[in-house]
Structures are given as structure tokens and as C-alpha cells.
Chains A and B, each alone.
Chain A
Amino acid sequence: MAEARPRTLFDKIWDHHVVETLPDGTALLYIDRHLVHEVTSPQAFEGLRVAGRPVRRPDATIAVVDHNIATDATRRTGITDPESRLQVETLEKNVVEFGVPYIPLLDARQGIVHVIGPEQGLSLPGMTIVCGDSHTSTHGALGALAFGIGTSEVEHVLATQTLLQKPAKNMRVTVDGTLPVGCTAKDIVLAIIGKIGTAGGTGHVIEFAGEAIRALDMAGRMTVCNMSIEAGARAGMVAPDETTFEYVKGKPYAPKGEAFERAVAWWRSLPTDPGAHFDKEVTLRAEDIVPMVSWGTSPEDVLPITSTVPNPSSFADEARQAQVQRMLDYMGLQAGQKLTDLKVDVVFIGSCTNSRIEDMRMAASIVRGRKVADGVRAMVVPGSGLVKQQAEAEGLDRVFQDAGFEWREAGCSMCLGMNPDKLTPGQRCASTSNRNFEGRQGPGGRTHLLSPAMAAAAALAGHLADVREWQPQ
């Protein structure tokens, strides 16, 4: 037998899941977990119905509502928007008709699909995980291969439990050293995207490695993997280790007892072998990272909070100069303004990037004993009902509310402008979400991406602020 070629974490999970390789190299890849939500599934279920096909593995599938729903008290009295209501009702009918497990809106476990997957132990190391949502990359934090798919592929997975896929290339982003005080996982990933650009990972699966990544808790690793898609990558991953196993242990759907030990034994074999080949390698030093904030309308347009708004003329080519000018116009910015002088109207702490209990604790530690600045609307939206419960048990809801924050119910909320939580034209928002695209948080809205700690500081200051000047009292 030939000596085994050293393989990456991605290679190992990929190889393990190939059902069959077709003559042209396309793989039929087995999918272990399929997460379904109301926005990208109705047309897929309709396709099954028309073709008379069942869901192949309802036990490997789970559905939840998150994108469309209100995050205030009105969700208890029924969804008011007729289109949103129809989409939610359609999912509720489909899960009954096709026998798919479902977490209903008023269940304590309800929440953002990328928060509840890991929280319930539905997402495990070594799995292939898909969902009709680009931020499925989040689940790669567990050492899984997790990626977003379109609705045709949702239907394909429902019908066959497989996908037709060409292997991705391997990319490794190593973050050496120790993260400075005031910096978080969000600052790491914004710094990475700033360095490699929004297409820097296209065609690749990124493995995040290095001392600063290993030191992150699971929530931090999820934040980093979540935004891999903002670097264009198919998926992001972190090798499973003791932090991962400790996190998974005891989760409702995780294996128990002897099955857990067997699973861990396999998971330990997954990390990248020494000498495995990466098609692309990037290295950052954690010590160089400064709290980051985005200034433009693409997640690669990020700068340390200590910077000023860039001048279009400082960019090399004419096309980029015109693009930067257009972004400054949209964002209502002048070249040379200090980022810390930008007044904010809204502060949003939430989204699949930053709505876990660790994010809540981080923001609350900055907020405790202080007040939201006059004229700022500040909101905290926990990622799931269970995150909300935990935060309330720790008294974090009081910390936020005493300071003047709204404390809301779980959902995607103001990340994407398809539920009642939206910016109005021209409003400037400090947001812990993942996309600062034009109109993403509502038509004409202006988004600055940053960490939960930085968002908290912005709410207190009334303008973008350096969290290092707002450390816990």
C-alpha cells in the first residue's frame, strides 16, 4: 500500500463523505446535517411536492424560523406582515407534510439557525453541514465542513442527502501570538478580510490556525468562521480540540456516554497532518491587531478605530478611486474625518456573527453602570431563546436595560432588513453583524461593522469609539 499522503482537516472530512466520484471528478458528497429556515426552503419543498419525492432523511434535517420574524412582543400575538406570515406558515405546513423536525417560534430553543445548530449539538465535529444560508460557514468552528447552498441545492439535499460538488482548494490563515486587550474574534476576522479582500478566499476552504485562534472560545471561533464567506471562501474551519470537545459534551443532540468517547476518538484524528499541502497561506500577528471598524460598503473596507476616513486619491487605480468616492457618498463621509468622530443613530448587538452568551457578556461588561448616549437607539438581540434565558439568569438583561438598551427576542433582526427591525435612510449604525452592503440593514442605511465590545462603546459614547478607552469600571 502506498504511504498515505498528509491531508488537511478539509481533505479528511471531504474524503470521508465522498459517496462516489463521477468520471469528470465531481463528487457525490454525503451531507450529515441539513438546517432549514423559512426564506430559502419554500421553493425546495414545492419542487419535491411536484416531483412526488420524499425527504430522504428527516432525522438529519431540522427546521427553524429566524429571518422574517419580529423580535419584540408582537411575535406572541402573530406575525403582522402578511408575506412574512405566509412564509412562516408555509414552513410550518411543509415540516408536517414531510415529517421534518421543527423548532417553533415560541419554543425556548428557537433562534438564529447558526446559533441553535451548535447550541443543540446538531452541529458536530467531522460533519458535513449545509443550510440555504451563506453564513453556514459558522459551524466550521466545530471542525466541521459547513457551507451555504442555494434553494436548488436545498431541494437536492432534501431529496438525496447528497450534493454534487467539486473539491475546494485548501487555504490556511494562521494568526500567531496573543490578542491585545480590547481586541476580539471579530477584530481578527475583520483584519483578515481587510488583508485578503472579499474575494481572497474564493474557491477555497479556509482553515484558521495559530495560537490566537486556539486561544478563542467556541463563540469566538464561530465569529471568525461565520465571516469566512465575507472573504469569499466556501467555508471556514478550526481543527477540533479539547475546547471543542468540552463544548460539545452534554449538548442535547450530541452523542452520549460510550458513543461520545467513540466520536471523540474519531474527531481527534481530524486535525491537519504535518506537511499537508495548502494552496494558499496567509499569516497575521495577533499583536498587530487593533479594534477594527468598517468604513465602506464592503467588508474588506475596514480600518483600525484609530484611523481617519480614507481619501479616494490615496488608492492606486482610477476605478477603485471612483468606487471609494461612491462609497463615501453613500456612507455620508468626508475623507480625513476621524472614525471616532462619526456619530451613530443606532447600535445593533446581535446576528449569527455575535449573539451568543459570550458576546452578551462582553458587551455587558463595557455597559455595566453606564448610560447609552442621548439620541442613540441601542438594541441587544440574543441569538436564541436559550441565550436570552442564560443572559437573564446572569442579570445581563438588567445591565443593558438600566443603561437604556432594548432587550429583545431572538432572531436575525437588524442584520438583513427583511423583518420589522430596519434602519431608515441615512441612519448610521454601529453593528455587530456581518455585512455592510448598501441597503443591507434597510434602504439607505449606513452600517459600520465592529465587535460587541466596540458596539457597546459606541452606544455609550454616541459615536464610534475606541473600546480601550471604555474598559469595564
Chain B
Amino acid sequence: MKPFTNLTGIAAPLPKANVDTDQIIPARFLKTIQRSGLGRHLFANFRFREDGSENPDFVLNQEPYRNAEILVAFENFGCGSSREHAPWALLDFGIRCVIAPDFADIFHNNSFKNGILPVKLPREVCEKLMEDARMGGNARLTVDLERKVVVRPNGEEIPFEVDAFRRHCLLNGLDDIGQTLEHKDSIDSYEARQRSSQPWLYA
């Protein structure tokens, strides 16, 4: 996983609540056996018209947002299906940070596993950042995970909270599995206990 430390980039405004993972990547694009290459289907039902041409009204089809690295949205971002294809599609498009008042649990989890930082900030702060994002290329946001602040184009710093363990993993690009396997002895002894107390759980 690519570490996430400090990002300065174009933020795209997506002023909607309940952006579900079917919107982020419709199910018909889940038939892949790879993680890469999903960026071209990100928000497919909004980005493309029925004939396959680009919809110029959608923000990610407009300059400078084609190069957005940050997304600003409203409540309950990432609700619905557990598909990790949603963060894969965001990442493949180039988005490494989503800022919203809150996130659905599974999407929130999946983001951290892929080097995407979800930043939770109150609605009124997100509205301010939405205004910044609407200024396009003249208004880059900085997301500093080391200092846990978002820096607005006017220099104002907005602190945010993030789980310490997840921050550590993101800053260092750490793979969870390797870390968990360091606890192999504990897992072995848990299984030994369970095997004798609940033998029906073992074939």
C-alpha cells in the first residue's frame, strides 16, 4: 500500500448526501478479477450518457476536476454495498482523500486498506470546503495526515480526528496481514481452546 502523508491537490465538489457505492461504481463493472483499471468506470452512470459519450455536466468531466485528488461530499458517503471496487475506482482515478460529515462503516474501513484517507468534518465545515472546491484550480486543499489538519486555500487550518492505529498504517503504508501474523501464537492458542470447548466449529 502506498503511504499517505501529506497531499495538496484539486478538490472536486460533490454536494450530495448518501453517495452509495452503486453510484461510485455500478455492479456491471464488478466482473473484474483485478484491482486496477476501475477508474474509467468511476461514477459511470453520471460521467457517461447512455450512448457512452461524456456528460459535460458532471464535475469530474470538467477542468480542472479531471485531475482531482480530493473529493468533498455530504453525509453517509459510501453507503450500501461492501464492494471494495469503490475505493479501488476512486484510487485508480486519482482520488486519495474524501472529506464528508460522515461515512458508512464498510466504505470507511475499505478506504484505509487502500491508502485512501476519509476525513470526517462537521457539515458546516464541509460546506465551507465545498465552496473552496468550487473555485477549481485556484483553490487547492492540503490534507496533512501527520499534523491531522486540512489547510484551506486562505490558510485556515482545520484539525480532524483519525484513529491512531489506522493513521499509523496509512503513514507507513503498512499491510494489516503481516502485522496480524505477528500474533500467530495467540491465534493458535485461541483455536486450541475453542476446539475443545466448541468442537462442532471444527470439521
Contact A166 B102 (CB under 8 A): no
Measured CB to CB, the nearest residue on chain B to A26 is B165
Q: Which residues of A contact B16 (CB under 8 A)?
A: 323
Which of B17, B76, B183 has a CB less than 8 Å from the CB of A202? B76
- Nearest CB of A to B178, in Å: 8
Known contacts A90-B33, A156-B176; decide if A40 and B83 are in contact (CB<8 Å).
yes
Q: Which among A127, A160, A234, A417 has the highest number of chain B CB atoms within 10 Å?
A: A160
Known contacts A39-B30, A153-B113, A202-B102; decide if A160 and B180 are in contact (CB<8 Å).
yes
- Nearest CB of B to A122, in Å: 11
Give Cα A260–Cα B81 distance, bound, in whole angstroms: 35
Give Cα A440–Cα B186 distance, bound, in whole angstroms: 43
Contact A28 B180 (CB under 8 A): yes
Measured CB to CB, the nearest residue on chain B to A416 is B27
Q: Which residues of A contact B181 (CB under 8 A)?
A: 159-160
Measured CB to CB, the nearest residue on chain A to B203 is A59
**Chain A contact residues (Cβ within 8 angstroms of B): what range?**
35 or more
Q: Which residues of A contact B92 (CB under 8 A)?
A: none
30 contacts between A and B (CB under 8 A): A24-B164, A28-B186, A32-B201, A43-B84, A46-B34, A60-B203, A67-B27, A81-B31, A83-B31, A86-B31, A124-B200, A132-B82, A134-B81, A148-B82, A149-B82, A150-B84, A150-B106, A152-B176, A153-B110, A159-B177, A160-B177, A161-B191, A198-B79, A232-B104, A255-B200, A262-B200, A319-B17, A418-B31, A425-B50, A439-B23
**Can you name 11 extra interface pairs (CB under 8 A) apart from A40-B84, A150-B109?**
A19-B186, A28-B187, A59-B202, A60-B202, A134-B81, A160-B177, A202-B76, A202-B105, A232-B105, A435-B22, A438-B22
Which residues does B use to contact A, with CB under 8 Å?
A: 15-18, 20, 22-23, 26-28, 30-35, 45, 50, 74-76, 79-84, 87, 102, 104-106, 109-110, 113-114, 163-165, 176-177, 180-181, 183, 186-187, 190-191, 194, 198-203
Which residues does A use to contact B, with CB under 8 Å?
A: 19-20, 22, 24, 26, 28, 30, 32, 39-40, 42-43, 46-47, 51, 53, 59-60, 67-68, 81, 83-84, 86-87, 90, 124, 127, 132-134, 136, 148-153, 155-156, 159-162, 164, 166, 198-199, 202-203, 229, 232, 234, 254-255, 259-260, 262-263, 266, 298, 319, 323, 416-418, 425, 435, 437-440, 443-444
